[in-house]
Copies of this chain bind each other. A is one copy, B any other.
């Protein structure tokens, strides 16, 4: 059931999900679904919770290297239509539903964790102005990528990721 739910959500977003559809795809009877998950939303949340995976740390030794690596990975993932589909619909539903809001926050937090550590290391090395709040800094670094991918539904040309990261590093320099 969880698997079928994930498949649907990835392919068609949360809107494509319905208990009937899960029953159809998984071959599991609807009654069984309701026995395990009291309601459709609970199944959906459980399935989505499984998709939140920890992002491995990236430590190349330089701030520029770390951020480039992190954002390259981010772009590789976030430009996939299915991922964009999923994230956008979670974001959309999070405005009405606190449970989905929590899920969305978890996704964002998990995604930002390695960035935060990279920034900490960079600050320790003196590559970042010590006045800068690291929470703000991570928002700033991710900002252009989030805006391009989510907001403008665009992609990136060759070398563009690196160029943007360079500019952000320059912005945060002491």
Binding site for B on A (CB under 8 A): 13, 15, 81, 84-85, 88-89, 91-92, 94-96, 101, 104-105, 108, 132, 136, 139-140, 142-148, 150-153, 160, 163-164, 167-168, 170-172
Task: Output the least CB separation between A65 and chain B (Å).
Answer: 18
User: Which residues on the B side are within 8 Å of A153 (C-beta)?
Assistant: 94-95, 101, 104-105
Choice from B91, B105, B151 contacting A108 with Cβ under 8 Å: B151
Using A146-B146, A150-B151 as known contacts, say yes or no to A92 and B92 having CB atoms under 8 A apart: yes
Residue among A13, A85, A136, A172 having the largest count of chain B Cβ atoms under 10 Å: A136
What residues of chain B lie closer than 8 Å to A91, measured between beta carbons?
Answer: 88, 92, 150-151
The 5 closest A-B CB pairs, nearest first, are A143-B143, A143-B144, A171-B171, A143-B147, A146-B147
- How far apart sit A96 and B146, CA to CA, in the bound complex (Å)? 20
10 A-B contacts (beta carbon < 8 Å)? A13-B92, A13-B95, A81-B95, A94-B153, A104-B153, A105-B152, A139-B148, A143-B147, A168-B171, A170-B171
| Residue from A92, A160, A163, A168 whose CB has the most chain B CB atoms within 10 Å | A92
User: B140 to A164, Cβ gap below 8 A?
Assistant: yes
